[in-house]
Amino acid sequence: GPCVKAHLKTIPPLCVHYVTFCLIQVKRFLEPFRLSQKTLQDISSRLTQDMIKGLGRHSHHKAPVKMLPTFVRATPDGTEKGDFLALDLGGTNFRVLHVRVNEDEKSVLKMDSEICAIPQEIMTGTGEQLFDHIAACLGTFLEKQGLKEQVLPLGFTFSFPCEQKEIDKSILIRWTKGFNCSGVEGRDVVQLLKEAVRRQGDYEIGTVAMVNDTVGTMMSCGYRDQSCEIGMIIGTGTNACYMEEMCNVKRVEGEGGRMCINTEWGGFGDDGSLRDIQTQFDLEVDRSSINPGVHIFEKMISGMYLGEIVRLLLVKMTEDKILFSGKVSEKLRTSGAFLTKFISEIEHGSFQRILSDLGLQWSTADLRAVHLICDTVSSRSAQLCAAALAAVANRIRTNRGLDHLDTTVGVDGTVFKKHPTFSAELRSMVHKLAPKCTLKFIVSEDGSGKGAAMVTAVAQRIAAQSHLIDDSDEDELEEN
Ligand code: BGC
């Protein structure tokens, strides 16, 4: 078209009409991605209902939002201390850390850490291979640090949905985020780790505390700000945890105090409850994922999937001749070719290289359109997170019978941290959806590493742990 070589700032008058015309078509296409405040409010209420279902002793089994007890009953009180190891599996990388908690300075120091890549074939290989790889990385790290003779307590940040029986017994419910190792679902991850360490044979580990990354994030912020009662991750995956009243945690013995609940809100919609807002592109992302039908909410929000949603939009609009003169490049057709980080880069204003690397030729109208597509997909993600966070904050507020709640959210994750407008958009929408809650956001500094050490430290401080009530008999009755 006439606009092919035009630059954004010097569009000839004739082209203005053309650009506007294209944008109207693009906007029409993006309509299903725009959610009204009323819809978001409604989604927030649906999540509230699902949270109640997940907490119930009998409704829990069929609940899409699992509301898992974490056996973390207290946030740090500042008296924790000691040296710890931390493992962090489930985000962008696998890491091993040596962490020191200093009581006097109320600080958590990362003494050393190392990143070990997890090759693709291990991510989808056998569980034994995965845990051998982890134990080997840990062994190498201890060797290098001269720690091999010590037996240190270990915090294991394992960022997948686990049914925790105790702080050191944690059954994997299912893999998410591209992991799919055989023979691990339904097994105790602590035991698998310990067996792998035994197979290494040349070092030992002390007590193990299992930690979801959301919990680590809450706890690491909690050391600095004792009103931190929510942990949230918007990275490769998405999830949140918060402090719930024990009397509402029907699946765990005891009525007093509070316990941190790992909501696993990524599973919201797994029973079809979000069908009305899923677009054809969301359905396609789900269908072509390695775990179709599960973690529906996560697939509309997190870094593992956002780029793919944008890619599918670009392909479809190009096929419909709305973009790139109708020419879809080979590269653009390749699944996973449009990385989520491109969305941030494009919204920051850098396009040319990304599009040319994708083998595309663009006009000014295309540039505007691509920007709008990225903006729409990331905004929807921020708004959906806001709806979910509003549900959690309101729950804490009503639990405590408060007219107004002031609390702090510890946050981590690449989408939240790297995207230029994500956090601002999230905050402003939470404010609208939960006007009776004032939330302060703290970006966690390495919650998965330091937070895991913190959980281990707090767990050691609070020796008495309660146990999960075994409700299997009653369930059989219920089902008959
Ligand atoms: C997992 C959660 C985790 C979240 C963020 C999800 O896929 O199910 O356990 O907290 O990702 O890493």
Domains annotated on the chain, with CATH:
1-23+33-63+226-445 (3.40.367.20), 82-211+448-471 (3.30.420.40)
CA distance 256 to 245: 8
pLDDT per residue over 47-85, tens digit each?
Answer: 999 999 999 999 999 999 999 999 888 777 777 788 999
Nearest CA to ligand 1 atom 12: 237
CA distance 111 to 322: 54
Distances (CA, A) of 256 to 242, 252, 420, 448, 455: 16, 11, 42, 28, 20
**CB of 244 shorter than 6 A to ligand 1:** no
Amino acid making up residue 206: G
**CB of 176 shorter than 6 A to ligand 1:** yes
Q: How far is the CA of 236 from the centre of ligand 1 (A)?
A: 8
Nearest CA to ligand 1 atom 7: 237
Q: Which of 188, 213, 282, 412 is catalytic?
A: 213
Neighbours of 258 (CB within 10 A): 20
pLDDT at 12: 57
pLDDT at 282: 98
Amino acid making up residue 33: F
Which among 219, 199, 200 has a CA at the least distance from the CA of 209? Answer: 219
Mutate to test the pocket of ligand 1, among 164, 239, 340 (most ligand atoms within 8 A of CB): 239
**CB of 412 shorter than 6 A to ligand 1:** no
Q: How far is the CA of 265 from the centre of ligand 1 (A)?
A: 9
First-to-last C-alpha distance (Å) of the chain: 68
CA distance 176 to 402: 36
- Residue linked to tokens 């008058």: 13
Nearest CA to ligand 1 atom 1: 160
- Residue linked to tokens 């009103």: 227
Q: How far is the CA of 71 from the centre of ligand 1 (A)?
A: 17
44, 36 in Cβ contact below 8 A? no
Residues in the chain: 480
Nearest CA to ligand 1 atom 6: 237
- Residues 277, 301, 280, CA angle at the centre, nearest 5°? 40
pLDDT at 3: 44
CA distance 438 to 431: 7
Amino acid making up residue 327: K
Q: Buried (b) or exposed (e) across 114-136, using 16+ Cβ within 10 A?
A: bebebeeebbbbebbbbbbbbbe
pLDDT at 449: 83
Burial tier of 215 (Cβ tally within 10 Å: 0-12, 13-18, 19+): buried
Mutate to test the pocket of ligand 1, among 179, 213, 219 (most ligand atoms within 8 A of CB): 213
73, 61 in Cβ contact below 8 A? no
Burial tier of 68 (Cβ tally within 10 Å: 0-12, 13-18, 19+): buried
177 catalytic residue (yes or no): yes
CA distance 329 to 306: 20
The token pair at 433 is 């959806």
Q: How far is the CA of 158 from the centre of ligand 1 (A)?
A: 9
**CB of 303 shorter than 6 A to ligand 1:** no
**CB of 159 shorter than 6 A to ligand 1:** yes
Mutate to test the pocket of ligand 1, among 70, 93, 218, 233 (most ligand atoms within 8 A of CB): 233
In which order are the strands placed within the sheet that holds 82-89?
Answer: 107-116, 94-102, 82-89, 154-158, 208-211
Q: Which atom of ligand 1 is nearest to the CA of 237?
A: 11
213 catalytic residue (yes or no): yes
Mutate to test the pocket of ligand 1, among 264, 286, 296 (most ligand atoms within 8 A of CB): 264
**CB of 446 shorter than 6 A to ligand 1:** no
Spell out the SS3 assignment of the chain: CCCCCCCCCCCCHHHHHHHHHHHHHHHHHHHHHCCCHHHHHHHHHHHHHHHHHHHCCCCHHHCCCCCEECCCCCCCCCCCCEEEEEEEECCCCEEEEEEEEECCCCEEEEEEEEEECCCHHHHCCEHHHHHHHHHHHHHHHHHHHCCCCCCCCEEEEECCCEEEEECCEEEECCCCCCCCCECCCCCEHHHHHHHHHHHHCCCCCCCEEEECHHHHHHHHHHHHCCCEEEEEEECCCEEEEEEEEHHHCCCECCCCCEEEEECCHHHCCCCCCCHHHCCHHHHHHHHCCCCCCCCHHHHHHCHHHHHHHHHHHHHHHHHCCCCHHHCCCCHHHCCCCCCHHHHHHHHHCCCHHHHHHCCCCCCHHHHHHHHHHHHHHHHHHHHHHHHHHHHHHHHHHHHCCCCCEEEEEEEECHHHHHCCCHHHHHHHHHHHHCCCEEEEEEECCCHHHHHHHHHHHHHHHCCCCCCECCCHHHHHHHHC
Q: Which of 53, 66, 169, 177 is catalytic?
A: 177
**CB of 160 shorter than 6 A to ligand 1:** yes
Distance, C-alpha 333 to centroid of its chain: 27
pLDDT at 400: 96
Q: Which atom of ligand 1 is nearest to the CA of 236?
A: 12
Nearest CA to ligand 1 atom 11: 237
The residues pairing with 158 across neighbouring beta strands, listed in sequence order, are 89
Amino acid making up residue 426: L
Nearest CA to ligand 1 atom 8: 160
Q: Which residues does the chain have with pLDDT short of 50?
A: 1-8, 463-467, 470-480
pLDDT at 111: 83
**Residue 358, by phi and psi: left (phi above 0), alpha (psi -120 to 50) or beta?**
alpha
Q: How far is the CA of 248 from the centre of ligand 1 (A)?
A: 23
